[in-house]
Chain A
């Protein structure tokens, strides 16, 4: 299946996503430069991490207006699989494909270390390969990952089982020390109402090889491969 990895000026995890996708034979990833206006025939779109347009003004604020974004919004709204990781998540929120916003970390400092996140729902094309409640060890690396949404939106996300990952302690609790950036409800990742668009701050593409310390992120790619495999092309 064809996967488009969008490269914005300032993206710096595009290659990492590309390589992580290549680890599964099902995927044929290719790069799409942000100035393109069409996606062509693809089964999924990845918005990688980095600092699109330098993250000036607000992370993702300028990138969301890149020419390719109209096609991405279109693709996502019509049910296409879209994954935004870190900066990609920020772009998705700015573009309105996902609700809420990502504010500066409460500490005001860039945070780069491994975190523990709990798989809150397996009812998504991105987590079906995990068992619910599984605790993943995955790195974060961001300065603006503090998820914010108003009360109604949060209630909606909770009510519709759309919170995919939550920051937890190594033993799986929500207690003190579990939340690296001040996110509401410890949110690390969410899906849209149709459940085809995922945004997450941690970097699963950095946790797919034993040599690099953790393979906990693989499940996301495997889930996706399974899901897309099930869809007749």
Chain B
């Protein structure tokens, strides 16, 4: 079809007239609409307007984030695929490649937590296996309001069930994640899911529609009216009546079909009958088809009348923008469509030829042969205007950060009571209520299950393994976005080294409020710069990620939450260690320096109800030295356990190592006798969240070696105590204060806190 003819596209009977109002409803500004006119050389049809609206939404077009994302380091010798594809891919040795990515489903989860979270997992799995990798693990990073609200409990339990039911059914083990509860997330929870997949380095395939004449095939589930304009929806603030407004948008997941799609896709990719494959995710057929065309520089032509549908009377607009789940767009080699169909039939899936690859660089859509959209592909996929917004820090935040907290540091003497109250905080208590709803051992590769610092997966027929973690403390980021983002990267890396893995690469999920607000854009810019600095420093390039903006309700934004998903490699996975103490009499050693820091801590939130002060400072140089020391210690098999100090501070690191496991299958808790010396407040000493610290335990005879090796790395190390007997006393003392509690009592509180909160409305 010639471009001359393409210049005119008759408007389709029954489609609404294009009006300024309609354009505005589609979230396009006047300038953006001008740009559309420029690209087309004529007014768009209704269908074309929908296409532009979706492709130029925040979700697909990264309007307000692209310029910031360019600051992130993306390169390293081991990076095979950086940002821009369905997922990043790195070389992990032994001819293996790891594909991994994190994705958010915040808005859908706020409306329908079960389906929203479930389909979030479905989407990230597809991003991984469309790279040619077999998913081997998932993690989930969650943020919710305080659990005293029934609505929050409903959202939280629904999301956890959704994540579990989906991943369990597909058969991908969950190896970790995080959850954080704070008022700031009350109306707008965050549900981010991360997936890791493995392939041989030469099995990678990309989302490209190449080879003129090749056939585009729609594969998997049929197309319904689900989630139409989900992409735009994900880019709007949740209105009070979102439930109502977004009803027809709810996407229902079918993990069973996903499992078939997973097996079929991998078989297809290995078969060589296809040249490209992509998930029909956000903006469905529109984005998959146009992006595949854009990437390869060719064009595509599809006829929506050939797309298998679930509902009658669907318009081109609806078919193009539907976000029905468990669908793929596949580019089959010309003449090999039958082989493709045969493979899908074996997996009881449908495949329809819906179009072909062209050489005219256009994204052309027909309905029964009649052109309904005809757009140059590159301007559509790459031409989305990007903005640099004004960013100014909110003075109120400055005031909070500078607040004087010396008063709260005054508490002295017996702090056992405080400790017991904090143990009941869902942010500090065991997360087993969550991860015991997730299959963590299917595929029989899980070396470290959720509950420790990072999950670990082994690779059969090699000695290798990979560790993964997600981290971010939204309070730190709220009080100081730059330091907070650095802290997130540092903690992620620290979690990895604690199991013996070398931090290797990063995926990230930027969860923020509206970028149109200077205070929010400031947070975004600062956080991204902090992340960039830390990632460059640790040599952990960012290979991909996701941006979720407009996370606000009633104008109230969530905390800036740049979630870091980090992966690390273990050359000898048999050396991996956990965070739980291993035997009575072992020496307990604290590596790293404790400062008098209490700002942004869980202690402040629970005891004073405030989020204020300077968040713990990150000293990147000290962090790196600490991490190298811990890696060396684990490599030399000197340690029995290692656990990083994070929320709750030193005492919680000790408590978690003593309890060993948060679950129904947790071991007997250990007692301990610890004495810490620092010339300042016991509150800061016990509950302060200074970064760059790791609690390790080792055979008493090796303590000297451990301290020496630490010193070699210029890491301050102190032997602070000894592991006591099973069910013994947990005793931590400092010059000005002490904690003395039965370890069995700690284990009980730690394990029962979250179930108690959740089962308020359960039998």
Contacts and interface: CB of A to CB of B under 8 A. Distances in A.
A and B touch in the complex (CB under 8 A): yes
Given A12-B170, A212-B447, A112 B256 contact: no
B480 to A, nearest CB: 38
A53 interface: yes
Nearest to B260: A9
B256 A53 contact: yes
Interface stretch (A15-23, A36-44, A72-80, A151-159): A15-23
B171 A50 contact: yes
A9 B442 contact: no
B443 interface: yes
B439 interface: yes
Nearest to B172: A12
B71 interface: no
Given A51-B259, A55-B169, A110 B164 contact: yes
A19 B444 contact: yes
A114 B446 CA distance: 13
A141 B663 CA distance: 14
Contact of B573 (A109, A203, A211): A211
Interface residues of A, number: 34
A180 B664 CA distance: 9
Contact of A10 (B165, B256, B573): B256
Nearest to B759: A107
B573 A113 contact: no
Contacts of B440: 112, 141
Interface string B436-451: 1111111111110000
A1 interface: no
Nearest to B432: A113
A54 interface: yes
B171 A54 contact: no
Given A50-B171, A112-B437, A115-B665, A209 B256 contact: no
A203 B446 CA distance: 14
Given A9-B348, A113-B665, A212-B441, A54 B436 contact: no
Contact of A54 (B256, B663, B665): B256
Nearest to B349: A9
Nearest to A54: B256
Contacts of B436: 111-113
Interface in A159-205: 177, 180, 203, 205
Interface in B250-305: 254-257, 259-260
A139 interface: yes
B437 A110 contact: yes
B444 A20 contact: yes
A137 B257 CA distance: 33
A139 B665 CA distance: 9
B347 interface: yes
Most chain B beta-carbon neighbours within 10 Å: one of A16, A54, A112, A209: A112
Contacts of A104: none
B164 A9 contact: no
Contacts of A111: 436-437
A65 interface: no
Given A110-B164, A211-B447, A212-B446, 10 more contacts: A12-B443, A16-B442, A19-B444, A51-B169, A56-B256, A110-B437, A113-B665, A205-B444, A206-B441, A212-B447
14 contacts: A9-B348, A12-B171, A51-B259, A54-B169, A55-B256, A109-B437, A110-B161, A110-B168, A113-B436, A113-B663, A113-B665, A143-B165, A180-B664, A212-B445
